[in-house]
Amino acid sequence: MSSDGQAEPTRKAAAEPAVGIDFGTTNAAVGIFERGRVRLVPNAEGTLTTPSVVAFTADGPPLVGAAALRQAVTNPEHTIRSVKLRLGTDWSHEHDGRRYSAEEVAALVLKRLHADVREHVGSDIGTAVLTVPAYFSHVQRRALEEAARMADIEVARIVSEPTATAIAHGLHRAQEERSLVFDLGGGTFDVSLVEIGAGVCEVKATAGDNHLGGDNWDQDVVDYFVALLRDEHGLDISRDPTALARLREAAETARIDLSAATAAHVYLPCLARVGDGFAHVDVMLTRDELETITQTTLERCRGPFERVLRDGALRASEIDHVILVGGAARMPAVGGLVQKLSGKPPFRTISEGVVTGAALQAAGLTGQVKNLRLRDVIPASVGVEQVGGLYLPVIQRNTTIPTRRSQLLTTAVDNQTSVSVLVVESEEDRAGRDDAIALAKLDITGLAPAPAFAHRIDVAFDVDPGGTLRVTATDLGTGRSESRVIDRATARAAAQARRPIAVDGGPAFDNLPIVTTTVAYPLGIEIAGGRFREVITAHKSVPVRETVLVTNELDSQDALTVHVVEDGGFFVPGGTFRGVGRFELTGLAATGARTARVEIVLAVDRRRQLTIHARDLGNGREHTERVDLATTFQEPISLGPAASATNLPVVF
């Protein structure tokens, strides 16, 4: 109390520490900023990391950390590992008549970390910065926040793990450097391209795989021994949870040992019963054998590494440092692959780099660290689904946050009285594909009956510095609006509404909106030799009208085939092009090869109606056709000599 009897809330807030929490797939750690540096908080066992493991037992409360790990072999069915990878999903675990969600299990680990902080500093956590894999979706990030709230932890910011590592690595560097952070943990893999120096950390691009980590290497080794037992003893232990738990533990130990040694002894006596006796595992596993067994898994690291360089528009030679992070990154084969891809030896950062960076960011938010500025990016593109299943990205991946983008949509049919705005996270062209994630469904109702394209629906996407996404849809005519903050509840509701109708591959809703402001993909004509000649470029504002002048290729040619196609690239299932329209213009005014002059006009109006007009400038013959571009999505075709039509033109 102050001298006048009033409470002093600011003093209490100042006593609550700013912490960084690295909630890893395998282990979790807490860092606290004290006296100008980050210190890791020890747990009740006196260690600086806590296994991210929870076990439900017959008696007593759930076990967390090392205690849960110690009994995992004898209680495999109720020991939960890698719960981080299940955040934001419908996964749950039932024990003693109660069902626990992934968020509730994760909260048990976070409660343990919170208790360790209380024991260490004597107060609750104040400002908390949590880390996630860079490629975690919006739903997964919000699910981690929900788990933290269950543990009485208020999250000030969510930071990606590679970004936190970069902060710890280069915060006080005077010169700006480009670093590529290669983060391979227990269950997730991220690659981030980061520029850092003079207190500014700016993420340029990120890529990754949320289902790749040390667990996959361990599973490869488990599969190897399961096959070995099947071949040598005719024994199948693939459905024996206790034997598999022992094998997994031995595989993880061997993998870790082989990061430093060239051979590891795997000895599992009495692993499973065979007839009147027992089958044993007694094998000397070499590093070369491990690398052979896991070669396919290692190669999965190549794609995200190469993609992040493409997205960042950099060559490997332009990178100053390559930083390895995560326990699985200690494997020599991983370091060898990174050096091969980058052309330079990687730098292995301190093992606590992620939690250190998170704690520094927390200290920056409270003013304890000055001039620390973080510019992160959105890891995956988000947008809306349109009529025909066409996905329209509104915010592209690797856009710096915070950011706000909007898109104007309209109705697609006459007398449409409602619009369902389906928010989707995807990198694919068609939102209906399996890897697209439905994030939310916003319904604008009460529209006055009107012709198609008469209404204007503004959809605004707002992403805050912590990565929280809010989507607001507003009918500009009536002012009616609906808003959603993306989380697991909105995603589940959108997926459930969409699934029953979309399961057969048809349209998910009959009142989806449409964009009429631009041409989605390049439009052009097929010319002699089966080649594509672009006439209207992608993203051209409509209405648009473009002309190309063509002629006949051969002496005997008295007709031209006008074949209009759309270049959808790799977005076209089973091909590259979509057929749009095709007809013959006959009776050419030609006296020999390349003497005819034919003008082809392509015009797209605001209703996405394409007008194709061909006119022979020599004799005035002409032909016109109209095509609704919304009908061309399901017509993949191939160009080239084998598929070419006759009488194709050449450009004049």
If DSSP states are collapsed to H, E and C, what string results for 405-434?
EEEEEECCCCCCCCEEEEEEECCCCECCCC
Dihedral (CA of 268, 270, 275, 277) sign: positive
Tokens matching residue 236: 């199948």
Report whether 301 contacts 212 (CB < 8 A): yes
Task: Show the beta-strand stretches assigned E in 210-262.
Answer: none
Closest CA to 87 of 138, 14, 163: 138
Dihedral (C-alpha) 181, 182, 186, 187: value to the nearest 10 degrees? 100
Question: How would you classify the pairing of strands 321-325 and 177-184?
Answer: parallel
Report whether 30 contacts 131 (CB < 8 A): no
Q: Give CA–CA dist 173/17, Å, rounded.
A: 26
Closest CA to 650 of 593, 581, 606: 593
Q: Give CA–CA dist 125/107, Å, rounded.
A: 15
Neighbouring C-beta atoms of residue 360, cutoff 10 Å: 27
Report whether 203 contacts 375 (CB < 8 A): yes
Q: Give CA–CA dist 365/164, Å, rounded.
A: 14
Closest CA to 258 of 302, 206, 218: 218
Report whether 253 contacts 246 (CB < 8 A): no
Give the count of alpha carbons within 13 A of 626, CB side only: 5
Residues taking part in catalysis: 22, 84, 161, 183
Inter-helix orientation angle 138-150/102-121, to 10°:
50
Report whether 376 contacts 183 (CB < 8 A): no
Residue 267: Cβ-neighbour burial (10 angstroms; 0-12, 13-18, 19+):
exposed
The helix/strand/coil state of 579 is strand
**Helical segments of 513-622, H only:** none
Residue 459 gets the label, from left (phi > 0), alpha (psi -120 to 50) or beta, of beta
First to last CA, the chain: 89
- Which residues lie closer than 8 Å to 429 by C-beta, 6 or more apart? 390, 391, 568, 571, 572
Give the count of alpha carbons within 13 A of 356, CB side only: 17
Residue 113 CA: distances (Å) to CA of 19, 32, 431: 11, 12, 39
Place of tokens 């003893």: 233
Tokens matching residue 580: 């749009």
Amino acid at 6: Q
If DSSP states are collapsed to H, E and C, what string results for 158-190?
EEEHHHHHHHHHHCCCCCCEEEEEEEECCCCEE
Q: Give CA–CA dist 459/446, Å, rounded.
A: 17
